[in-house]
Amino acid sequence: MVEIVQNGHPVLRETAQEVAPEEITGEKIQKVISDMKSALASQKDGVAIAAPQIAVPLRIFVVAGKIFDPVWEEGQEPENPEPDMVFINPVITKRSKTKKWMHEGCLSVRPLWGEVRRSTNATLEAYNEKGEKITRGAGGLLAHIFQHEVDHLDGVLFIDNARNVEEGPVPE
């Protein structure tokens, strides 16, 4: 099983390094991606994971395909999950001025939950796991995830900017 590191581990506070685009399809990076996917799949309430959370200081994050399943509810097994989405060297190129306090937790900051003010829409440029350049606009949960995950790559945890932080449930 791939271990998810917890707050206090120094790798979570590092600025993660860019991946050389020509190395994306190589064995080393593909192994990191598959480790991230299995770590994420092991967490019932996990919607995304960044490489530093498995102690790899690289600019990669993975979004669970289950969030694209229209009937999926948090904490439940997805019925029709889409493939997980991989974002490498992601850069948020646009953030809406409209912001909202959104409830969030983190697989590396168990068992805390809190509210963070996030843009409601965001556009991200990145490479996918095949090494292709992609641009993805998002609103709602996906925009929220983009901001949380890019923060991870800059050594920022949600508790740094959160209000009303309290302990919440952790699934078995």
Q: Does 29 bind Zn ion (CB under 5 A)?
A: no
Smallest distance, Å, CB 148 to Zn ion? 6
Q: Does 16 interact with Zn ion (rule: CB under 5 A)?
A: no
With a CB cutoff of 8 Å and minimum separation 6, the contacts of 41 are 64
> Hey, what's the torsion of the CAs at 110, 113, 114, 120, to 10 degrees?
100
* 26-34, 88-96, 98-106, 164-172 -> range binding Zn ion (CB under 5 A): 98-106
By annotation, the residues acting in catalysis are 149
Rounded Cα distance, 42 and 37, in Å: 9
Phi–psi pair at 139, nearest 5 degrees: -130, 175
Give residues 39-68 in contact with Zn ion (rule: CB under 5 A): none
Of 110 and 131, CB closest to Zn ion: 110
Instruction: Give residue 68's Cα distance to chain centre.
Output: 15
Determine the size of the site formed for Zn ion (CB under 5 A). 1
Of 4-12, 64-72, 102-110, 123-131, the window that binds Zn ion (rule: CB under 5 A) is 102-110
Q: Tell me the closest approach of the beta carbon of residue 106 to Zn ion, in angstroms.
A: 3
Q: Which stretch binds Zn ion (CB under 5 A): 21-29, 64-72, 104-112, 131-139?
A: 104-112
Q: Does 106 bind Zn ion (CB under 5 A)?
A: yes
Query: Which is nearer to Zn ion, 44 or 133 (by Cβ)?
Result: 44
DSSP 79-101: SSPPPPEEEEEEEEEEE-S-EEE
In terms of C-beta density within 10 A (0-12 exposed, 13-18 middle, 19 or more buried), how is residue 48 classed?
buried
What residues line the site for Zn ion (CB under 5 A)? 106
